[in-house]
Structure 1
Amino acid sequence: MKQRDLFLIGNTTDELGGVTAWTHQMARLFTAQGHRVHVLGVHEAELKMPLPDDLGYPVTPLYPHHPRSPRRLGGLRGLNLAERRREAVRIADKKRAVAKLSGILADARPGSVVIATQVWPMEWLREVDTSRLRVVGMSHESFAYSRACHRYHWIKRHYPHVDRWLALTQEDADIWIHEGLDNVGHMPNALAHLPAVPSPRTEKVVASIGRLADQKGVDMLLDTWAKVAPWRPDWELRIHGAGADEPQLRAQCTELGLNASVRWMGRTSDVPGVLAGSSVFVQSSRGEGFPLALMEAMASAVPCAAFDCAPGVREIVRDGEDGLLAPVGDIDALADRLLRLTGNPRLRDDMGERARVNVQRFSQEHVLDLWEELFELLER
């Protein structure tokens, strides 16, 4: 196996969230394979993920904070001096960031690969000379979620120029090909951890893990739990995560009369421990990519109830076999799935054990083999 320089560049290097977790997971795996890895981000995050002091590879943000957005000035007429100065500062900051990125990539050995883990960093990467490198673009969300926001246009603008761009599933790759992109493939996320001992599923606990942000649909989860809690007074919903929406969500919880059965656990760095103390996992997201938390729950033999919000979700969960899916946004349907799992120990055990076996098709070894095949293909 050829050893390469691999550069993983995303929005941030340390933001609390799934893409950051994936980035450092893959950086560790690539490093263990003998590759020389460098993790980069556009900026440092405000809501940070706990990371070890010695990661074993360098980590570099291009900015110490979120960079200014470009001003749509439309010419100089009517432009005030303060706006001119702000735009001049932004342009100077960007030139320094591009120079910093260029300097890092200039030392890359032949056969090196840059992996843009998200599309925003392409704004800087396309100003750098990458002629000696191979560039891979990625999206960690579904086509539908990208299509509903500005990232769809960013992908259409930037990713036709990369050597390969990767969706998370073949289903989404096919849609992007239909959109006119001819360099599309797919790459699943890797299962981060297979606990030696699965959850005993003895605690009457339903776990949710994720940022407290609109995408994760915790507001819909609370509405769902309001339908479940009266029928399961001895069960508890534990919400693990942090985010800007926490005050509103806590207020909603109080308004729904759920304070006795919902616990706000904050962020966690011990996902296996959380899952070992849970019997059911719930995911209420409006949009996802290929969710790591869902795979980790299944690896712990914790059966899942989730909104079928993306191809990646139904790629991971085989509905009715190793978990239960509900139509996106259908709170009554998600409540029904939770009532079935919390009310039937045999169903929980059967689905949990099948989930632990089935999810191993996304093992780290298998996904690393897929990456090595891609690297070799890019050199031909």
Structure 2
Amino acid sequence: MSRDIFIVSNSVDELGGVSSWSHRMAGLLTGRGHRVQLIGITPAVLHQDFGDDLPYGMTTLYAEHPAPAWAPKLPWQRLDARARRREAERAAGVRAAAERMSAMFRAAGPGAVVIVTQVWAMEWVARADLKGLQVIGMSHESFETCKASSRFGRVKRHYADVDRLVVLTDEDADAWIREGMNSTCGIPNPLPFDVRPAAAEPAERVVVSIGRLAQEKGYDLLLEAWATAVDRRPGWRLRIFGLGEEEAALKAQCTALGLDESVEFAGRTDDVPGALAGAAMFALSSRGEGFPLSLMEAMACGVPCVAFDCAPGVHEIIRDGEDGLLAPTGNTSVLAQRLGRLMDDQELREAMGERARQAIGRYSPEHVTARWEELFALLES
């Protein structure tokens, strides 16, 4: 059955995993005959270019980020006429944005679905006219990461009445169900691109990492581990792709650790397979994740991964000791040991990389898209 499918996010053009997932799923669902529209609440701060010739629609509701709601703390502050006027303008903007969504939703045909990828976006969707629509909320992070954040209460509050809450693993779904979110299920991310053939040339002595240079990605921990791993292993390099607010601090840390000769900050890349070409291994040092696309990308290129076991999605993707190596989250000594083990053993790297290439096929786009379509049919029945 062909459906109208709306995928609503904080931003549709943001540099990061949620936007990449949204565009990937929009392309896959469009390819299956569905009519897909991506809706973003605000423009991205860190912009990612997904191209202009897209086979699906893309809309952003605000031209710039809206002001936060006014919350006077003292009684006399409620008399501030200027603040009250600004709050009235903000509230009118929220209503106008919700009405724009409502107009799109009302034009949808039978069986239409709204997928809300982030809970902040749900605050706008909840104000729209959802009559006749199935609404699916999502959390793209692990249960434990969400529970440790301010988003936890908002997920429970704003997703309480959705038709289904979708998370990225069955393990996380079980955790949400224990919290009373009984309509939760797990559906993994699809592979972001087809599995690549084995490289003809042997890998270079390069460890690659790709991600935002942000605190939650743990690049400070990776640099600590690298300082130990690269010691007495001359000729190895760590190449970090990404941009973010932590860039200056990380470069300063790199210099303080004496790593400038072995660490390269390569900036942003739009060519992930190209960035991974020739890499001996991939490192993920995040403090928290959902279902990391970067691990899937590396494995699809036949690159073995070393990662902190920071989420169920990580140990679902990597089978420790078979197609990659895991370390306890935040333990830089063990991470360094795992890196060193692969750095010292080319045969092991090649064997794990080939097993990774074969194993990651279980997240084929066909399989994952079929699971989404099965969910749509179930909710409509």
TM range (shorter): over 0.9
SS of the equivalent of 1:374 reads helix
TM-score (norm 2): 0.97
Counterpart Cα distance in 1 of 2:300 and 2:234: 28
Q: Which runs of 5+ in 1 are unaligned?
A: none
| 1:220 paired residue number | 221
Q: How does 1:328-367 map to 2 (within 5 A)?
A: 328-367=329-368
Counterpart Cα distance in 1 of 2:97 and 2:239: 41
| 2:38 paired residue number | 39
SS of the equivalent of 1:46 reads coil
Counterpart Cα distance in 2 of 1:194 and 1:121: 30
Could you tell me how far 1:366 is from its partner in structure 2?
A: 0.6
| 1:14 paired residue number | 13
| 1:129 paired residue number | 129
SS of the equivalent of 2:159 reads helix
When structure 1 is superposed on structure 2, of 162-171 and 222-231 the one drifting more is 222-231
Q: How does 1:45-124 map to 2 (within 5 A)?
A: 45-73=44-72, 77-79=76-78, 80-124=80-124
Counterpart Cα distance in 1 of 2:279 and 2:3: 41
Q: Which runs of 5+ in 2 are unaligned?
A: none
When structure 1 is superposed on structure 2, of 76-85 and 30-39 the one drifting more is 76-85
Could you tell me how far 1:175 is from its partner in structure 2?
A: 0.7
Q: Is the 8 A contact 1:194 1:296 kept in 2?
A: no
Q: Which amino acid aligns with 2:151?
A: R
Alignment deviations for residues 105-136 of structure 1 (CA, whole Å, 9 cap, x no partner) = 11110100000011111111111121210001
Counterpart Cα distance in 2 of 1:267 and 1:198: 25
Q: How does 1:253-272 map to 2 (within 5 A)?
A: 253-272=254-273
2:199 matches 1:186: no
| 2:310 paired residue number | 309
Could you tell me how far 1:287 is from its partner in structure 2?
A: 0.4
Q: Is the 8 A contact 1:195 1:272 kept in 2?
A: no
How many positions carry a matched residue from both structures?
Answer: 379
Counterpart Cα distance in 2 of 1:66 and 1:212: 22
Counterpart Cα distance in 1 of 2:251 and 2:202: 27
SS of the equivalent of 1:161 reads coil
Q: Is the 8 A contact 1:207 1:275 kept in 2?
A: yes
| 1:369 paired residue number | 370
Q: CA RMSD in A?
A: 1.2
Could you tell me how far 1:74 is from its partner in structure 2?
A: 5.3
Counterpart Cα distance in 2 of 1:334 and 1:375: 41
SS of the equivalent of 1:320 reads coil
Q: Which amino acid aligns with 1:124?
A: W
Q: Is the 8 A contact 2:223 2:254 kept in 1?
A: yes
Could you tell me how far 1:346 is from its partner in structure 2?
A: 0.6
Could you tell me how far 1:211 is from its partner in structure 2?
A: 0.4
Q: Is the 8 A contact 2:196 2:300 kept in 1?
A: no
TM-score (norm 1): 0.97
SS of the equivalent of 1:8 reads strand
Could you tell me how far 1:76 is from its partner in structure 2?
A: 5.7
| 1:289 paired residue number | 290
Alignment deviations for residues 185-204 of structure 1 (CA, whole Å, 9 cap, x no partner) = 11100011124423454211
Q: Which amino acid aligns with 2:39?
A: L
Q: Is the 8 A contact 2:168 2:186 kept in 1?
A: yes
